[in-house]
Structure 1
Amino acid sequence: MSTPQAGNALGASYRLVEHIGSGAVGDVWLAESTREDKTFAAKLLKSEHAHDADLVERFIRERSVLIGLRHPHIVAVRDLVVEGTTLAIVMDYIPGGTLRDLLASHGPLPAAEALMLTAQVFDALAEAHRQQVTHRDIKPDNVLLSQPWEPGHTDTVQVTDFGIASVVSARRRQTSGMLGTPQYMAPEIISHGHATSAADIYSTGVLLYELLAGRTPFDGPGTDFTVAYRHVTALPPELEIPRELWRALNDFLAKDPRDRPTAAEAAATLRRLEPKYRDLPPLPPADTTDDFAEIERPQTMLRSELLHETNVSPEMESPVAEQTPELGSAPQHTVLRPMPAHHVPEPSEDEDTEVSDEQLTWFTKKNILLGIAGIILLAAVVFGAIWLFTGDASEADDASDNEVEASQQDQPLPTGLSVERRASFDPETERITLEITYAAQHAPLSGQFFESIPATDPESSACPPVTWEGTTGRQHPSSSTGLSADCGWQLEGIEIPANDQTTVTASFPASVTDQEALSAWLDDAATATTTTLQDPDSSSTAYPVQRLQDIRVETPSRTVSQTPLPITLVPVWPSGEDEMNPLYQSPSSGSPSQMLQDVAGGEDGVRFSDSCAGAVAISSDGLTVTALSVAPECQLHASVGNFTSLQSSPFSITTRD
């Protein structure tokens, strides 16, 4: 999906309805299910993040964790859609707005209301932490209300955006950057560059402070780094609230992660305090200040041993950042920026003098004579080598002066794609020209294609600079496709008409000795391409024309007469079936998936046919099947592009109960 628009299909199960919000990681759309009468919120990963290997890999790897994270105060993730470069999290739609909206419309809240809302956030975190999931970006924007807020409402809070969480169990996880919102970052994120469950407690403490005061504790002038670093160096300005309530809030905002309570303990504390302050009026909005009281010896705060506590994983240690990162102007939005690399200091003047003295002592008379002798010997070796190779150059010159050619052809693929490669070497320009001809059988083929162009020298690790004609070629993005490749190229915009062919050309500087060497290189290039595309360990949906192995026609085991038959076309990749990303579903709504467009030319390449002796009816376009009469066992035939002999599993047709 290039630019999402209302009406676009999202995978095979959803259709985009309306854009409802944006964040650092993705755009949020209202989406409707094509299978049932339900509305969801779909967060589409932004294009600039779709090529972030860590983000994409994390979402895919944590699918079962995110979908399994269920709690009354957590927005439920229902599905994860992965289709080409589109990745989306489909979750429940919560219509009541956010705590950010609530603050904007009401200002500071009464203490009892703020405590009640925050306790529900801690309840959500307690369940997430129990499953070893950290949120990493708690703030009012990520706390939703199930209904428009009214004083006294309970059980209205639902925390969202666990889609960018990190699972911290089983193995060490350490970021090389900062993820979060500067106004809500825990001190250890600034100092260590990673987050733990204790950081969620701190961020929720900031949220409670904001609900009470109308602003975050360290809000003030300066860049977002200035704001973030105040979490490390400054004390939060005290609010005019009862001492017991301030002590609880101060515990959440403790600089030392060991001094913060767990989420469950924090929730219990707030529920104990809430009845005491039901008559406490809201505070007036707090003014922004730049007068912050600094803590003592901030330079010795927050070393890695601070992470050795019960509610923080002991595996999460990391060296303290040597430099303070430049983050830009202070935002309220999530930032994801790399931490600076460690800078190696320049040698001091004393070190320079010491090195120079060592260099001077080396230049003794003896060493100078040995050096001259070495130069003479080296010159003799060089001249001897030149004489040796030029004396026997006639044979090499004859080989390099001849233009040589080689060809290779792949076995036809299940999608109907055939590939033929022809390479030629021009000794005058010292370039190899590679013509790749893609041919289609019964159905048109299109989309992105993959080719590996390795170096002609087997001992060289450098990939040749390739110039493409007939297509747009760019370096293969392993991070977004999930396929590892050396010297890989992603070819864009290739279209092959049915029963026709398309040729693209690659050329690059190189040298080969003879036809046998060129043929061996061509075979290596074809093998490298096939090896990457047929990787059985990758669940990638990239390059479907080259990677799709089969299609399974899935129907329910039982259906009711006089109703449309639900049919799902499940793609089969080298790694196996992928039920999470169907190729097509009937009855359909919205635009066809990009995969279907690539391998079959869209819905025009899909047809279902009856093998139930008239027990079903097929629509005139061949896309919708309706059960008509009772039948103990039926099967459907289907054709999808070049897959012309597909057959469904058996199903029965019964009357309504």
Structure 2
Amino acid sequence: MHLAQTGEALGASYRFGERVGSGAVGEVWTVTSADGRLLAAKVLRPEHAEDPSLVERFVRERSVLLGLQDPRIVPVRDMVVEGARLAIVMDYVAGGSLRDAVKDLGPLPPAAALTAAAEVFDALAFAHSRGVTHRDVKPDNVLLARPFSECGPGDVLVSDFGISDVVGEKVRQTTGLVGTPQYMPPELISQGRSGPEGDVYSAGVLLYELLAGRTPFAGPGTDFTVAYRHVSSRPPRIPVEDAVWDVLEALLSKDPALRPTAREAASTLRRLAPGLAGSAPLARAEAPADFDAVERPATVVRGGLTEEELSALTVLSPADGGAVPELGEAGSATIVRPLPRRDVPARAEARSEEKDATPFWRTRKALLLAGAAAALLVAMVVGFVVLAPADRRTGPTAGAGGQVSAQLQDPALPTGLTVSRTASYEPSSGQTRLSVTYAAQKAPLSGDFLEVIPGLAEGDACPAATWEDASASRNQASITGLDVECGWKLSGVQVPAGGSVQVTAKVSVQPADQQALDAWLRAGSQATAAALQDPATKGTAYPVQRLQGVEVRTPARVVTPSPLKITLVPVWAGGADELNPLYVSPASGKPSQMLTAVTGGEEGLRFSDGCGGALAVDSSGLTVTALQITPQCTLRASVGNFTDLQSPSFSITSRENSDD
């Protein structure tokens, strides 16, 4: 079933061309914009549009994806919500994908493979710095500006950032699997979580495939069989230089903490690529008869099963009537598939009589089979049934006092600000290093920013913090109007449009384990958001984080010809603030500090005629004059990240009518 037809309209600005692909998430079409540009649209399947929570998330993720602008990422240009149709509009990239290259050419020359993978890691590094995780890195999602044989620097682009987040969140929160089995990181399968380190792993699988012509764990079996090899097996060695194999082993480490970052991986691959110039491609690797198993600690089930069910799992095997769910043949398609819980049958008492009559060697074999089946089932339950964390935290599990790290991203704010936080506890220093990344979308953002750094437990004293990269002082409620414990005011932060900045603090907290660090990072984020969005707060402090909207105000009646008085009123959580206007036109003096904070100044502000020529806007876009008599007129405005603003209707009359 096609989700669109050639020539059909998509929203008010696009028209469908040809269908160029399809998958589990939806179909990809060429579309033509109103100004004649050829773009691509990924149209999501109708069942997604019928889910109100997914539509809400789709709209919420829009600002994040639109702000992900990097030369090595296929840019998202628009997101359309139209009835039962959701579509993501992006640039059209005509050179095919790395999947096409591997399919047509087989294994790629090592130098070319490493160079292409380095550009993929560049794209991931940028996204990770903005708090965005891809979650479905594979050759299909790496597009080429030109056919691979003609590609040069900058022709490799990563696409579909955030689509797994948009479509997969509901599945991860219930029961299910999101991703592509051949590229899934082991922590997603065994612990139900994945983050930037998971992207690095998947890109390592991609590099392995570019070199070998096959993914490391491809072979016979179902989706589950292939996916579980990521947890249980070592990647088969391929005949590449030792330095290249060392990189692959690091990228494919079972422990996320041992993998390099995306930026480190890109740098290493670029250093190695020139030494491989002229090296011939490898012969296409065949799947091994057996995969070497790895020794690993027992998987811990974090919820979802009772003690009785866990006990029953230890005696299940296929021979006993237990069965691993059939998921279909393994392939390279993205999986978005809910998996229902299975009832675990009770232990059969009568089985003991049968075992008494069984020879010893046969009993031992049965126990070995049961143990293997139990390990498979436990991993399946944890990866596919256990609830995945709702926030985007990552970090290796560690015992008390060990090194742990965590990551958390807040939803984008109306001003276009996105905040992501990472925390890493170093036992050697006894301190936790907190890094806060502020990213801006359409407009530069600046001024004072609030960060709350709480104690580890409720009631603990506010910890000491030493800040880098920003001028920091304790928040003073008498000055800012925000009465919050453990609050810090970071002054002079400058975030460029489409860019990001990072500030770091060394904090005197010592979390005992991963769970404690996760809770501490989340508590700081929640306390910061609660303070900034308190409706009782008065004043104009921290506008980048507090501003909810902008109202465009004009007089109810305007006399022609005369300048139109326009007042931009900030809207906080407590409502519109008429006493502290954001901007007044015609302007006199310098723009307000609030306007500068959220738009970069007057250059981020523009007015436009909303009533068919009755208003004249000067070349600066800041002064508007009423020209023609009309009973109803509106003014449009764009204020930084707040676009498509519109005033209430007003009338334009002549001076004579006004005197009447």
* TM-score when normalising by structure 2: 0.49
Which of structures 1 and 2 has the larger relative contact order (alpha carbons within 8 angstroms, sep 6+)?
A: 1
Q: Which has the larger radius of gyration?
A: 1
